[in-house]
A and B are shown apart, each in its own frame.
Chain A
Amino acid sequence: MSTIELRSLTKRFHRLVAVDDVDLTVGAGEVVCLLGPSGCGKTTTLRMIAGLEAPTSGDVLIAGRRVNDLKTRDRNIAMVFQFYALYPTQTVAENLAYPLHADRLPPAELAKRVQRVSDALQLGHVLDRLPGQLAEGEKQRVAVGRAIIRDPTCFLFDEPLSRLDVQLRETMRGQVKEILTGLNKATVIVTHDQLEALTMADRIAVMRGGVIEQSATPHDIFNKPTNLFVASFIGTPQMNLIPATLIGPGDAGAWRFRIGGQTAAIVVDPAVGRLAEGTAVTLGIRPRNIDLAAGGADDGLAATVDLIEPMGAETLLHLLEEGQDLRVVVDARLEPRVGDKLRLRFRPGQTHVFDQSERRVTA
């Protein structure tokens, strides 16, 4: 079985704790994205799986076997590096064939395998070129080809698409996902690009400061962030995080909060009932989950349009409410103007309440 398991994995560089007691299991055929800002320990974790970095403590298990003491070359892992790490003095064909050197295949068999991979990745026309003569997207495909040419236990990707331009990234994202689905191997992708993680992963592990903050499906990461960090890190435009005070229960399952000088009734997770009245909380709501109240209505939160960012089909409004910046995505046809006073309604059940320990309040 192709699985990866990390048990209390820790890596210290002198005083700096890069990876702190990480537990993670990647099942056979599962694609897990390690997502986090730079310096969160995601690449170090990946390098420990590969054996390029020795853990300070904890275990790495591959296919159920502890590999801490196994050399990198004996782990049978394929990895795609951020800067591709192609062998600069070897042609594309030689690069692709390199991982097979230990198998001592007959030349005909070797050529056949190279052919198969180069066909799958449309590299046939560049087989005789050196890496320095390739376009960025071709280098990327060679790096992927080199990883998939043999039959490794698992796959590691370090920021695989970060060097491509936006358009190429979009096509490659689809291609890589397709390849990964076909491989059906335990795969770990390191990325700081949430879109990459959300589209390619079966499961996302959000990391910060060497710790996995949340490990869940892309859907749950997006819709049920476990704490303030995950909530703010995932999603564009960023989730609104609004300091508020819990007043108490309102009508129809809603709870009343004081936001600045105003009071708003918002339908939230009933688990907030266990918080004492008067508790300071942070409300989190995504900019697409706020509606503008019809003109003349006096419910919802009053705010003034401060800045308008057209995004094509939608428009991102920045509104000010007593110094608090609120982001709201509205239909582009609305065409509001700076200085307009609007009333905002939070869609029921879409507002998260975070307590003072920054954790989401939930049953």
Chain B
Amino acid sequence: MARDTSRGVRDAGWGWTAFAGIVAFVYFFPVLWIIVTAFKTYNDALAVPAKLFFTPTLENFVGVFSRAYSAGGQAVNTGLELFFLNSILCAGSSVIFALIIGTLAAFGFSRFPLKGNDTYLFIILSTRMLPPIVVIIPIFLMFRVTGLSGTYPGIILLYTAFNLPFAVWMMKSFFDELSVDVEDAARLDGSSGFRVFWKICLPQVRAGLAATAVFGLILTWNEFLFALLLTGVETRTVPVAMAQTIGGDIGVRWGLLAAIETLFLVPVAVVTFVLQHHLLRGVTFGTIKR
């Protein structure tokens, strides 16, 4: 292995690499367990000690989409495909809305500071300081009164509000880092305020947009509590649906649950993979001196 001594950097050697591999394996193990279990039959999944070698089966994956479940004693005729679409719709659109609103707000906070700018920013962040369980009661009541309970707009609105503080803070830190000279240059070159934002500033914060989107997506994709209490039968998201497969006549069907989880992992994994090039720069923002 070539040692790059020109930058004063030496690779860590096999020992440390192996150590890092072990740590990474420990972290990844639960995910691996889930994926393996998804391909096991009901009996294989329950076997003690766990079977390392088994005949893989796709029956769990077939089951995800084709069966009707008894959930909470109530017969549900909808397959999980609806819940997956719900999850994609709710998480996806709330992330997009939060990104649009948050980026515009962040640009405003960064470039046209209000009197008491920091106070406003603090207030925005403070909405995320309470644990969800504390705010769920007033939100539940408000949703009941306004008729938002159990509707798509309701849960999307809530998730957007959820993602916004993070989006504003994150994007503001990116805009703060940009050179104002570049924007002045664009103005001298005849650009309107919006053009400066759109053509000059926004392309420079792509990494920030990617990082903000991924974090927001993970947050809302996995959200359980609000989804449990505020979605209806038709608007249920996967985490809630997953919980409701537990129980019923033959106990927890681990294979099926693992299959749902495996499929549930895919969208976030794909998005993260696609954006990983930006992510690395996004999450280390501000730590590298220009």
Bind each other: yes
- By a beta-carbon cutoff of 8 Å, the part of chain A in contact with chain B is 50-52, 71-79, 81-83, 85-90, 98-99, 101-102, 146
Stretch of B59-67, B161-169, B183-191, B280-288 that contacts chain A: B183-191
Partner of B181, one of A76, A77, A83: A83
Which residues does chain A contribute within 8 Å of B192, judged by CB atoms? Answer: 73
Which residues does chain A contribute within 8 Å of B189, judged by CB atoms? Answer: 73, 78, 98-99, 101, 146
List 15 additional A-B contacts (Cβ < 8 Å) besides A79-B185, A85-B182, A89-B204.
A50-B184, A52-B187, A52-B188, A72-B187, A73-B188, A73-B190, A73-B191, A73-B192, A76-B190, A81-B181, A82-B181, A87-B182, A89-B203, A101-B190, A146-B185
Residue of B nearest to A79 (CB): B188
Partner of A88, one of B184, B187, B195, B204: B204
15 contacts between A and B (CB under 8 A): A50-B184, A52-B187, A52-B188, A75-B188, A76-B190, A78-B188, A82-B181, A83-B181, A85-B181, A85-B182, A85-B185, A89-B203, A89-B204, A90-B203, A146-B185
Complex Cα distance A77/B190, Å?
9
A-contacting residues, B165-207, CB 8 Å: 179, 181-182, 184-192, 195, 200, 203-204, 206
Which residues does chain B contribute within 8 Å of A90, judged by CB atoms? Answer: 203
Which residues does chain B contribute within 8 Å of A102, judged by CB atoms? Answer: 190
Q: How far is the CB of A83 from chain B (nearest CB, A)?
A: 6
Check B179 against A72 for contact (C-beta < 8 Å): no
In the complex, which of the residues B181, B185, B204 has the most CB atoms of chain A within 10 Å of its own CB atom? Answer: B185
Residue of B nearest to A98 (CB): B189
Check B190 against A85 for contact (C-beta < 8 Å): no
Residue of A nearest to B202 (CB): A89
Partner of B187, one of A73, A82, A101, A146: A73
Check A81 against B184 for contact (C-beta < 8 Å): yes
Residue of A nearest to B205 (CB): A89
* 8 cross-chain pairs, A with B, having the tightest CB-CB distances, nearest first: A89-B203, A85-B185, A85-B181, A99-B189, A72-B187, A102-B190, A85-B182, A73-B190
Which residues does chain A contribute within 8 Å of B200, judged by CB atoms? Answer: 87
Which residues does chain B contribute within 8 Å of A71, judged by CB atoms? Answer: 187
Q: How far is the CB of A302 from chain B (nearest CB, A)?
A: 54
Which residues does chain B contribute within 8 Å of A85, judged by CB atoms? Answer: 179, 181-182, 184-185
Partner of B182, one of A76, A88, A99: A88
Check A87 against B181 for contact (C-beta < 8 Å): no
Complex Cα distance A301/B191, Å?
63
Check A72 against B203 for contact (C-beta < 8 Å): no
Which residues does chain A contribute within 8 Å of B184, judged by CB atoms? Answer: 50, 52, 72, 79, 81, 85
- By a beta-carbon cutoff of 8 Å, the part of chain B in contact with chain A is 179, 181-182, 184-192, 195, 200, 203-204, 206
Complex Cα distance A50/B195, Å?
18
Check B186 against A87 for contact (C-beta < 8 Å): yes
Complex Cα distance A363/B106, Å?
62
Residue of B nearest to A77 (CB): B188
Which residues does chain A contribute within 8 Å of B188, judged by CB atoms? Answer: 50, 52, 72-73, 75, 77-79
Q: How far is the CB of B205 from chain A (nearest CB, A)?
A: 10
Q: How far is the CB of B1 from chain A (nearest CB, A)?
A: 28
Complex Cα distance A87/B190, Å?
14
Which residues does chain B contribute within 8 Å of A74, judged by CB atoms? Answer: 190
Residue of A nearest to B184 (CB): A52
Complex Cα distance A77/B192, Å?
15
Which residues does chain A contribute within 8 Å of B187, judged by CB atoms? Answer: 51-52, 71-73
Partner of A99, one of B181, B190, B204: B190
Which residues does chain B contribute within 8 Å of A83, judged by CB atoms? Answer: 179, 181
Q: How far is the CB of A154 from chain B (nearest CB, A)?
A: 11
Check A98 against B186 for contact (C-beta < 8 Å): yes
Residue of B nearest to A99 (CB): B189
Which residues does chain B contribute within 8 Å of A98, judged by CB atoms? Answer: 186, 189
Which residues does chain A contribute within 8 Å of B195, judged by CB atoms? Answer: 101
Residue of B nearest to A88 (CB): B204
Complex Cα distance A50/B187, Å?
10
Complex Cα distance A300/B187, Å?
60
Residue of B nearest to A52 (CB): B184
Which residues does chain B contribute within 8 Å of A77, judged by CB atoms? Answer: 188
Complex Cα distance A81/B181, Å?
7
Q: How far is the CB of A239 from chain B (nearest CB, A)?
A: 35
Which residues does chain A contribute within 8 Å of B179, judged by CB atoms? Answer: 83, 85
Complex Cα distance A72/B188, Å?
6
Q: How far is the CB of B126 from chain A (nearest CB, A)?
A: 31
Complex Cα distance A89/B209, Å?
15
Complex Cα distance A89/B190, Å?
18
Complex Cα distance A72/B179, Å?
18
Q: How far is the CB of B111 from chain A (nearest CB, A)?
A: 13
Complex Cα distance A202/B60, Å?
84
Complex Cα distance A76/B185, Å?
12
Residue of B nearest to A152 (CB): B188
Which residues does chain B contribute within 8 Å of A88, judged by CB atoms? Answer: 182, 204
Which residues does chain A contribute within 8 Å of B181, judged by CB atoms? Answer: 81-83, 85
Complex Cα distance A86/B203, Å?
13
Q: How far is the CB of B76 from chain A (nearest CB, A)?
A: 49
Q: How far is the CB of A230 from chain B (nearest CB, A)?
A: 30
Check A86 against B190 for contact (C-beta < 8 Å): no
Residue of A nearest to B191 (CB): A73
Complex Cα distance A102/B179, Å?
23
Q: How far is the CB of A357 from chain B (nearest CB, A)?
A: 39
Residue of B nearest to A81 (CB): B181
Complex Cα distance A98/B190, Å?
9
